Structure 1
């Protein structure tokens, strides 16, 4: 799948984030104009002072069943297209992917 990539540090997940939403949720896959597939996420936080970035990391941690300290934003601090790194072992990658994708259905 091209909405995530396994790295030596864990799992990179590509998101398209909509801030100022009525709820926090991962809603499924979305293909963007550039042809890339991303997980679509909605968050209630506003995109100011890093609030939306913090909220997406918290949503990912909660959805993936990992600690907040295991999740960090690696790209897209000022963009709706974000890359989130989830620190996990190679054996945990499939479980984390299933949890994230399961939250999107």
Structure 2
């Protein structure tokens, strides 16, 4: 689940690349499991993940930043401009 932060909300994500479409497939112990259609080649899966989260939460792509796990399937993502309650609600309905 999202943690509160002065500049926004921080979430943990497990990325599943190569999915049929971009979608949240569940939450396991506070970690969002998100399928992305892109493959993990030259940052394409990370870019797709950031675009998907930005669209789902209603912020600009530049407000979504991977702060840890750039080359891992488990990532920490900072979403600026929204609080953790809003992120949880919006991602739960995405």
Question: TM-score of the superposition, structure 2-length normalised?
Answer: 0.91
Q: Structure 2 regions of 5+ residues with no counterpart?
A: none
> In 1, Cα distance between the equivalents of 2:52 and 2:24?
8
Pair 1:97 & 2:84 matched: no
Choose which of 70, 74, 77 in structure 1 pairs with 2:70: 77
> In 2, Cα distance between the equivalents of 1:12 and 1:62?
16
- In structure 2, the residue matched to 1:16 is 14
- In structure 2, the residue matched to 1:7 is 5
Q: Tell me the number of residue pairs that the alignment of Structure 1 and Structure 2 aligns.
A: 94
Q: Structure 1 regions of 5+ residues with no counterpart?
A: 32-36
Question: TM-score of the superposition, structure 1-length normalised?
Answer: 0.82
> In 1, Cα distance between the equivalents of 2:34 and 2:68?
16
Pair 1:51 & 2:49 matched: no
Q: Which has the higher strand share?
A: 2
Contact 2:63 2:80 in 1 (8 A): yes
Pair 1:41 & 2:46 matched: no
Question: How far off is 1:94 after superposition?
Answer: 2.2
Cα root mean square deviation, aligned? 1.3
Which is higher, the Rg of structure 1 or of structure 2? 1
